[in-house]
Amino acid sequence: MIGIDEKGYYGEFGGAYIPEMLHPNVEELRKAYVGIWEDEAFQKEFRELLRDYVGRPTPLYYASRLSAKYNANIYLKREDLCHTGAHKVNNTIGQILLAKRLNKKYIIAETGAGQHGVATATVCALMGMPCIVYMGEIDIERQAPNVARMRMLGAEVRPAKSGSRTLKDATNEAIRHWINHPQDTHYIIGSVVGPHPYPDMVARFQSVISEEMMWQLQEKTGKPDPDIAIACVGGGSNAAGTYYHYLNKEHVRLIAVEAAGHGVNSGESAATSVLGTRGIIHGSRTLLMQTPDGQIVEPYSISAGLDYPGIGPMHAHLIASGRAEAVSVTDDEAMQWTYYLSRMEGIIPALETSHAFAALDHIEYKPGDVIVINLSGRGDKDLNTFITHYDKYND
Amino acid sequence: MNRIQQLFADKQEDILNIYFTAGYPNLEDTEPTILALAEAGVDLIEVGMPYSDPLADGPTIQESGTAAIRNGMTLDKLFDQIASARQHTEIPLVMMGYFNQVMQYGEERFFRKVKEVGVDGLILPDLPVYEFEQFYRDQIESLGLSVSFLITPQTSEERIRQIDKLSKGFIYMVSNSSITGAKKEITQAQLDYFNRINAMQLDNPRLIGFGISSHETFRTACKYANGAIIGSAFIKALRDGKDVHTATIEFVGKIRKSEVGSRK
Ligand SMILES: Cc1ncc(COP(=O)(O)O)c(C=O)c1O
């Protein structure tokens, strides 16, 4: 059985390695989250918002040209069609409803590429709650359109100026803010990372992805299970949602696609499962990229949503136990796939998502296998990067 | 008895515990800082292990850690520096850092090395009480090391009792809910918290830390606990001071004022 134990561990990974100052906040969440999640009124409100506001269920689309080319039955789970353009909003809807039930008045979040920041700013606007988003100073420069979107939505974007001034430091700053404001603030974390109960809570909110996949596949193929499920992994939230209802169905292969950057051994990579070692990041015992002395290092990927030095504890466990197969995909492959998918299927994917597609070139499968790729987000936010590289990849 | 336990057996009041970041401002400043603090008459020293991602720390300690790592600080280097300082002083020493550093060094190897170089205690703010009890307590205690846990105004009475049972040195009372280096004055709400803890009659002595920065705040802390811990204010003094020795003697003199010397 793959699941979380009562102390918040998936196998040896997880837990809550947090300073005492955070204990009351995290403990309050831990005690409340399962009850809230299982509450009928919560489920009703959550499902209604997912349907009417987010636009769920998202389609499961049979990609016929791609299927013919790869001699498989390839389905795309269209999370890119969610309001705000990625799966991130499934989680922020869940967490804002939870924050309201805990009587929280203020919301904070961290963001790297800005997708989670936008999804958080959106639900805060929806609920009329003040919102502060921490974002690394360097990412604020790199992701200007999403900074503008967050500001449009009324959120305050605060630069994280410590350390390497990217996602990991934005997360540190959000946690420090939470320490300083323990009573009335909820921290909406953006992936299946952080101290228990966050990884499990975010996985539950994202589990709607595989929940829908099951009945959609049943309709289309006569079976609820695919042979292979593929998702990209930054922290791992879209992958957690894609795998969730298949975790204990061993006949479904789970493929976790990480960003190799310039190559796994180039010194500029974010392939955590290959380069990472056991340690603690943001309160969770997991795999992370660090020096032999335990200093956390800054990863690299062309995609700002995948350059996180850690990986959610669920994925560390899935990979370490052999339940999931990890695949590393370079910047170059991801860029090629962005153009390829745009021309093959008329869908411009987010750069993070392009990594998931490139796994098709790495894995072995039987002709005719049913393969679901989670299309976690759309590429609008990456247009500047695409334009810069247009000549190189447009042949 | 280790040196921390001996200290509290001999002295229950006005304990001054100073934190500094190892390898800051310069890589080789660790030993001179320990020796200057000992000479200045502080009671206990917390040696900070510089870390890339110190979640519980404010900008002053973060920046000193980043600078120390850039200076080339490593755990092996730090152990050498402490071992060398230990040949010249018997002052109680505590190492403070984050658990990831301990894991990378290898937990058992780390605890043994800590003991070997003459350190008496550890503060690992992100090591949960549960994991400590399950996996590390036996080894740490058999080595005679004191682990200090943190409590805050939000920590429940039940949890404080549990922490008191697990502690074998002193309890670190975080003055209010914040990261290090915050607030200047002590509020009524904080005084109520100090009184509430006092009334619990805990077995372990208590030191108040976070936001203690001046003679006045130190005196207030000493009224409500066995003493206080100063970190960020001292690091600023080192940063802005002429040299480690002068800055340290001056800083401790200002905190102690009239008491300085009179106790020696
Ligand atoms: C479209 C998209 N996919 C994937 C990710 C990676 O996050 P996670 O691994 O949590 O799904 C991001 C993060 O920004 C994203 O925007």
Checking if the pLDDT of A204 tops 50, the result is yes
Greater confidence (A85 vs B181) lies with A85
Q: What confidence category does residue A128 fall into, taking pLDDT thresholds of 50, 70 and 90? A: very high
**Measured between alpha carbons, how far is B228 from B222 in angstroms, rounded to an integer?**
7
Q: What confidence category does residue A143 fall into, taking pLDDT thresholds of 50, 70 and 90? A: confident
**Measured between alpha carbons, how far is B22 from B29 in angstroms, rounded to an integer?**
7
Checking if the pLDDT of A139 tops 50, the result is yes
CA distance B144 to chain A (A): 24
**pLDDT at residue B178, rounded to an integer:** 83
Binary contact (A280, B179; C-beta < 8 A): no
Structure confidence by residue, pLDDT tens digits, A342-392: 999 999 999 999 999 999 999 999 999 999 999 999 999 999 899 988 888
Structure confidence by residue, pLDDT tens digits, A227-278: 999 999 999 999 999 999 999 999 999 999 999 999 999 999 999 999 999 9
Beta strands in chain B (DSSP E): 15-21, 44-48, 93-96, 121-123, 146-147, 150-151, 171-174, 206-209, 227-230
Q: What is the dihedral of CA B168, B174, B175, B178, to 10 degrees?
A: 180
Task: Tell me which residue has its CA closest to atom 1 in ligand 1.
Answer: A377
Structural domains of chain B, ranges and CATH numbers in brackets: 3-256 (3.20.20.70)
Chunked in runs of 10, what are the mean pLDDT values of chain B (264 residues)? 97 98 98 98 98 94 96 98 98 98 98 98 96 96 97 95 96 89 80 95 96 94 97 97 97 84 42
Checking if the pLDDT of A18 tops 60, the result is yes
Structure confidence by residue, pLDDT tens digits, B78-133: 999 999 999 999 999 999 999 999 999 999 999 999 999 999 999 999 999 999 99
Binary contact (B178, A179; C-beta < 8 A): yes
ipTM: 0.93
**Measured between alpha carbons, how far is A170 from A112 in angstroms, rounded to an integer?**
8
CA distance B71 to chain A (A): 14
**pLDDT at residue B262, rounded to an integer:** 41
Q: How close is the Cα of A110 to the center of ligand 1, in Å? A: 13
Kindly list the protein residues whose Cβ atom lies closer than 6 A to any atom of ligand 1. A 86, 112-113, 115-116, 191, 232-239, 305-306, 350, 352-353, 376-377
Q: What confidence category does residue A142 fall into, taking pLDDT thresholds of 50, 70 and 90? A: confident
A143 Cβ partners below 8 Å, 6+ apart? A113, A114, A135, A304, A381
Checking if the pLDDT of A121 tops 60, the result is yes
Question: Hunting for tokens 């005084």 — which residue is that?
Answer: B191
If interface means Cβ-Cβ distance under 8 Å, which residues of chain B face chain A? 51-53, 55-56, 58-59, 62-63, 66, 69, 74-75, 98-105, 125-128, 130-131, 149-152, 154-155, 159, 174, 177-179, 182
Q: How close is the Cα of B154 to the center of ligand 1, in Å? A: 35
**Measured between alpha carbons, how far is B151 from B173 in angstroms, rounded to an integer?**
5
**pLDDT at residue A164, rounded to an integer:** 82
* B43 neighbors B19 (Cβ within 8 angstroms): no
Helix (H, G, I), strand (E, B) or coil at A131: strand
**Contact residues on chain B for A282, CB-CB shorter than 8 A:** 55
If interface means Cβ-Cβ distance under 8 Å, which residues of chain A face chain B? 7, 15-21, 23-24, 162-163, 168-169, 172, 175-176, 179-180, 182, 277-283, 290, 292-297
Helix (H, G, I), strand (E, B) or coil at B83: helix
Exposed / middle / buried, residue B72 (Cβ in 10 Å: 0-12, 13-18, 19+): exposed
Interface test with A, best of B100, B105, B124, B127 (most A CBs within 10 A): B100
Binary contact (A294, B154; C-beta < 8 A): no
**Contact residues on chain A for B100, CB-CB shorter than 8 A:** 279-281, 290, 294, 296
Exposed / middle / buried, residue A111 (Cβ in 10 Å: 0-12, 13-18, 19+): buried
Structure confidence by residue, pLDDT tens digits, A297-315: 999 999 989 989 999 999 9
**Measured between alpha carbons, how far is B256 from B43 in angstroms, rounded to an integer?**
12
Checking if the pLDDT of A82 tops 80, the result is yes
Task: Tell me which residue has its CA closest to atom 12 in ligand 1.
Answer: A305
Checking if the pLDDT of A165 tops 90, the result is no
User: Among residues of chain A, what percentage have pLDDT more than 90?
Assistant: 92
Residues of A classed as catalytic: 88, 110, 376
* Chain centre to alpha carbon of residue B34: 13
Question: Is the alpha carbon torsion for A142, A297, B180, B258 positive or negative?
Answer: negative
Structural domains of chain A, ranges and CATH numbers in brackets: 24-49+88-201 (3.40.50.1100), 57-85+207-393 (3.40.50.1100)
Q: Alpha helix (H) ranges present in B143-210?
A: 157-166, 188-199
Bridge partners, A261 (sequence order): A330
Q: How close is the Cα of A65 to the center of ligand 1, in Å? A: 25
Helix (H, G, I), strand (E, B) or coil at A308: coil
B72 DSSP assignment: T
Question: Is the alpha carbon torsion for A322, A324, A329, A333 positive or negative?
Answer: positive
* A349 neighbors A341 (Cβ within 8 angstroms): yes
Bridge partners, A378 (sequence order): A349
Size of interface A-B (CB pairs under 8 A): 105
**pLDDT at residue A192, rounded to an integer:** 98
**What is the residue-averaged pLDDT of chain A?**
96
DSSP codes, A81-124:
GSGGGBTHHHHHHHHHHHHHHTT--EEEEEESSSHHHHHHHHHH
Task: Tell me which residue has its CA closest to atom 4 in ligand 1.
Answer: A352
**pLDDT at residue A316, rounded to an integer:** 98
| Nearest beta carbon to residue B128 from set A17, A21, A297 | A17
